[in-house]
Structure 1
Amino acid sequence: MSERETWATRAGFILAAVGSAVGLGNIWQFPFKTAEFGGATFLVVYLAAVFGIGLPAMLAEFVIGRRSKRNTISAFERLDHKKWRFVGAIGLLTGFWILSYYSVVGGWVLRYVGGSITGAYFGGAESYFGAISAGPEAVALHAIFMTLVVGIVAFGIEDGIEKATKLMVPSILVILGALAVWAFTLPGASEGYGYFLSPDLSQLRLTVESAPSFPWVSFGGPLAEIIPFAVSQAFFSLSLGMGAMITYASYIDGDESLFGDSATIVVFNTLIGILAGLVVIPLLFAQGVEPGSGGAGALFISVAGAFANIPLGRVVGFVFFLVVLVAALSSAISLLEVVVSYAIDNYAVSRPQMAVGLGGTIFLLGLPSAWDTAWLTWFDNLAYQLLLPASVLGILTFSGWVFGRPAVEELLRGTNFGDSIGVTWLWLVRSVVFLAVILTLVLGLLTLFTGQNPAIVPPL
């Protein structure tokens, strides 16, 4: 077994974790999920999910990682709960699964960085996306993106991931901030701000009624549709349920406050998501594009099409897609690190060999998604509606109900907080957060496997 690496600095860990969380989930998915599900109404529910569910769940992953100093599977064995290794295995599988199609989207971004320089997509954004999103070119771009990810991870924690994310994360903040200021100057942007930032409070309601097909219960109102997508978006954008946060926390060498670190990560991640919304949504309104349209290619069709109709469109398009690429890489390296960490903790093989071998395997798994976007949509739906909530539920069950008191002790290490803070967190994990994730999983399963209205769930 190789000697285990650690972060060189606390800032390095925080920026790496922010980089893991800040990715395509924030810039590819978040603005269009917000637009599709009512703008500011979705934003309110999403923010509640991030801080009320995502933050306690992140702490649960951090506790397991730092306490064990092991990867997402071996952590449970180190904590004397060998039978619970399956929870870590679900997280590893989830990250492995997501990276396979995430890399395909990363390849699209690579192509659009080049296309912005030449203006290649200006003549027809939809036809351009159709030509590069599937088939041989998409496979080649998928290979290039995975090669970049493998190269960074092969250099290790301090020399590879930490140095890369110290450059990437500040760059994302600065560039998105500048683009948000630029978007403010667009004619018609004010309508986008109203849609994104002014919630209709009448939409924040949930009704419970009897359904004809007893014993099912019908949840009505706009919230019934918004909740599962907002909670899953919180998991996706915070990189929860993928083994990344357990793995990154396992490299912490010290008694830093997990409360402070997790709060910093969540705030930065949320800020970047909102900045992305302040760029994308005003841009769409300024160009008269219907919010939420376009499916998986929405970012590449709607936004790219808008760049064709504005002054300095090539320059702005290049900068925008460059920041999307940086965000995609920062998340992708964390997902590959999950499986590489498990391998080097358990087998006598070097990090570069493992990075290349596992990266190649993930590339092969992503070939269907690169060849046909219908496969990518299926991969994404399975991750969003089943794998992510199931993985988070397993982590919460272990931390709250099995590990219990040692989890509280680990959480309080490095802080001056009294025991009551830790007990409150444990209560949240066991009750509010636990039930919210169960509801999200049930709604997702019904949508995924039965095609029923996701607002219909059996009584809990």
Structure 2
Amino acid sequence: MSERETWATRAGFILAAVGSAVGLGNIWQFPFKTAEFGGASFLIVYLIAAVAIGLPAILAEFVIGRRSNLNAISAFKKLGYPGWRFVGVLGLFTGFWILSYYSVVGGWVLRYIYGSLTGAYFADSAAYFGEVSMGLGALALHAVFMTLVVGIVAAGIEDGIEKATKLMVPSIVVILIGLAAWAFTLPNAGAGYAYFLSPDWSQFQLTVEFTPLPSFGGPLAEIIPFAVGQAFFSLSLGMGAMITYASYIDGDESLLGDGVTIVTLNTFVGVLAGLVVFPLLFAQNVDPATSGAGAVFVSIASAFGDLPAGQILGAVFFIVVLIAALSSAISLLEVVVSYVIDNYALSRPQAAVALGTPIFLLGIPSAMNTAWLTWFDNLAYQLLLPLSVLSILLFVGWVFARSALDEIRRGAAIGKGASSAWLWAVRLVVPIGVVLTLLLGIQTLFVGGAIVPPL
């Protein structure tokens, strides 16, 4: 096994982790989930979940990664708990699962950059999405996107991932700020801001019945699993990504400081994306509540088609989405590549190609039919992510607690009181929220029939 790579700079780690977090989860998933579940009501639950659940959870993953300096599976053996390797396996599988359909959406983005420049979707955006979102064309662009991801990961940590994210993340922020400033000038933008930022308090209702098992009702029962799942998805939690990235840290940086920076920047970009998307939709009288994974593509494409300079603006927007998609996708592939490099006699390029291929193959159903993509996405949001995060929290909070406290205090200006509060949050407070999310997600999957694949 060759000497393990590390980040060249602390900024490189932070930007790579932010890049992992700031992806399609912010610019594709966040607006359409927000629209589907009531606008600002969803936003509030998401923001609470990102801070109260996401921050403690991301620190738990950092502790495992930096303490072990190994991948998400081998870390548990090195830490002295080989029986807990199933936690890493679950995270690795979850990332593998998500990247398979995430890459398909990345292929859509490539197509929409071209469609913007040519004006191909301006006449009928819904029909255009139907043509490009599934079939052999979508499969080919899925392959192109995965090839780009494999190429970046194959180049290595410092020369590939770190250099790419140092360019990608600032580009995303700068261009989104410019687009948000432009969106502010659009007619009826105020209605978009009101939809996005003014909550409907009647949706904050949650009822519980015991018949004899607990059954949840009310609008909040639908919002919670998707809002918390969005926090997990957009922060790359439960996928092994943050364990893997933290394993490349070579120093005593403040994990707390890094975690706060990453969560803050990630949340900022998600909200910024909403400040672009919703004014744009309301300016063109496009209904934001259209459901489905392609809603943002159809709605935004329709809006750009009616705007002056829509071809250029559309291309710029989808270039931002592409950069975000790549920055997250490389982190998901790195999770499995890291495991193979740490344990088998394969070079990084060989491992990237060997693992990128089966991920591409798993994504074929999603490329051929969007019903499959929705099924993959529902299982990831409502089952795999909360289950994986819960497993990490239980390990760090109850099994690895003493060493976790040592690690979180290492290099950080954090006292015993604050670190102990974090540990008890990981032990009790956050798991309760994740268990509620998991129960609501399971209820939705089984009662709504979403657990059944679209055969």
Shorter-chain-normalised TM-score: which range? over 0.9
Query: Equivalents in 2 of 1:207, 1:144: separation in Å?
Result: 47
The offset of 1:2, in angstroms, is 1.7
DSSP-derived class of the 2:172 partner:
helix
Q: In the alignment, which residue of structure 2 is the partner of 1:457?
A: none
Q: In the alignment, which residue of structure 2 is the partner of 1:437?
A: 434
Q: Following superposition of structure 1 onto structure 2, how do residues 27-42 of structure 1 map, counting pairs within 5 Å?
A: 27-42=27-42
The offset of 1:450, in angstroms, is 3.7
The offset of 1:294, in angstroms, is 4.0
The offset of 1:405, in angstroms, is 1.0
Superposed CA deviations along residues 116-142 of structure 1, whole A, max 9, x for unmatched, are 111111111111111111111011000
Retained in 2: the 8 A contact 1:446–1:452? no
Structure 1 residue corresponding to 2:274, chosen from 255, 272, 277:
277
| Count of matched residue positions in the alignment of Structure 1 and Structure 2 | 451
Q: Does 1:427 align with 2:424?
A: yes
- Any gaps of 5 or more consecutive residues in structure 1? 455-460
Q: Does 1:43 align with 2:40?
A: no
DSSP-derived class of the 2:72 partner:
coil
Q: Does 1:263 align with 2:269?
A: no
Q: In the alignment, which residue of structure 1 is the partner of 2:383?
A: 386
Superposed CA deviations along residues 119-171 of structure 1, whole A, max 9, x for unmatched, are 11111111111111111101100000000000000000000000000000000
Comparing 367-376 with 337-346, greater Cα deviation is found at 367-376
The offset of 1:218, in angstroms, is 4.4
Q: Does 1:305 align with 2:319?
A: no
Amino acid at match of 1:24: L
Q: In the alignment, which residue of structure 1 is the partner of 2:212?
A: 215
Q: Does 1:148 align with 2:148?
A: yes
Comparing 348-357 with 197-206, greater Cα deviation is found at 197-206
Q: Does 1:81 align with 2:78?
A: no
Give the TM-score, by structure 2 length. Answer: 0.97
Retained in 2: the 8 A contact 1:13–1:248? yes
The offset of 1:291, in angstroms, is 1.6
Q: In the alignment, which residue of structure 2 is the partner of 1:351?
A: 348
Q: In the alignment, which residue of structure 1 is the partner of 2:244?
A: 247
Comparing 89-98 with 371-380, greater Cα deviation is found at 371-380
Query: Equivalents in 2 of 1:279, 1:354: separation in Å?
Result: 38
Retained in 1: the 8 A contact 2:216–2:440? no
Q: Following superposition of structure 1 onto structure 2, how do residues 322-337 of structure 1 map, counting pairs within 5 Å?
A: 322-337=319-334
Superposed CA deviations along residues 170-213 of structure 1, whole A, max 9, x for unmatched, are 000000000001111111110010111122345434344x45xx
Query: Equivalents in 1 of 2:17, 2:272: separation in Å?
Result: 18
Query: Equivalents in 2 of 1:226, 1:302: separation in Å?
Result: 22
Comparing 12-21 with 40-49, greater Cα deviation is found at 40-49
Query: Equivalents in 2 of 1:104, 1:220: separation in Å?
Result: 34
Amino acid at match of 2:436: L
Superposed CA deviations along residues 279-323 of structure 1, whole A, max 9, x for unmatched, are 111111111111220411112111001100011100110000000
DSSP-derived class of the 1:254 partner:
coil
Query: Equivalents in 2 of 1:453, 1:25: separation in Å?
Result: 21
Retained in 1: the 8 A contact 2:36–2:291? no
Amino acid at match of 1:365: L
DSSP-derived class of the 2:96 partner:
helix
The offset of 1:416, in angstroms, is 2.5
Query: Equivalents in 2 of 1:219, 1:333: separation in Å?
Result: 37
Q: Does 1:287 align with 2:284?
A: yes
Q: In the alignment, which residue of structure 2 is the partner of 1:160?
A: 160
Q: In the alignment, which residue of structure 1 is the partner of 2:136?
A: 136
Structure 1 residue corresponding to 2:399, chosen from 396, 399, 402:
402
DSSP-derived class of the 2:293 partner:
helix
Q: In the alignment, which residue of structure 2 is the partner of 1:458?
A: none
Amino acid at match of 1:52: A
Structure 1 residue corresponding to 2:338, chosen from 338, 341, 344:
341
Q: Following superposition of structure 1 onto structure 2, how do residues 95-110 of structure 1 map, counting pairs within 5 Å?
A: 95-110=95-110
Query: Equivalents in 2 of 1:416, 1:383: separation in Å?
Result: 36
Query: Equivalents in 2 of 1:197, 1:153: separation in Å?
Result: 38
Q: In the alignment, which residue of structure 1 is the partner of 2:13?
A: 13
Q: In the alignment, which residue of structure 1 is the partner of 2:410?
A: 413
Q: In the alignment, which residue of structure 1 is the partner of 2:197?
A: 197
Q: CA RMSD in A?
A: 1.4
The offset of 1:40, in angstroms, is 1.2
Q: In the alignment, which residue of structure 2 is the partner of 1:238?
A: 235
Retained in 1: the 8 A contact 2:375–2:450? no
Retained in 2: the 8 A contact 1:294–1:302? no
Superposed CA deviations along residues 389-420 of structure 1, whole A, max 9, x for unmatched, are 11001100100011111111101100132211
DSSP-derived class of the 1:296 partner:
coil
DSSP-derived class of the 1:295 partner:
coil
The offset of 1:216, in angstroms, is 3.3
The offset of 1:453, in angstroms, is 12
Q: In the alignment, which residue of structure 1 is the partner of 2:357?
A: 360
Amino acid at match of 1:110: L
Query: Equivalents in 1 of 2:416, 2:142: separation in Å?
Result: 49
- Any gaps of 5 or more consecutive residues in structure 2? none
Give the TM-score, by structure 1 length. Answer: 0.96
Structure 2 residue corresponding to 1:315, chosen from 309, 312, 319:
312
Comparing 87-96 with 379-388, greater Cα deviation is found at 379-388
Superposed CA deviations along residues 21-55 of structure 1, whole A, max 9, x for unmatched, are 01111010101111221211111111000000000
Query: Equivalents in 2 of 1:368, 1:453: separation in Å?
Result: 16
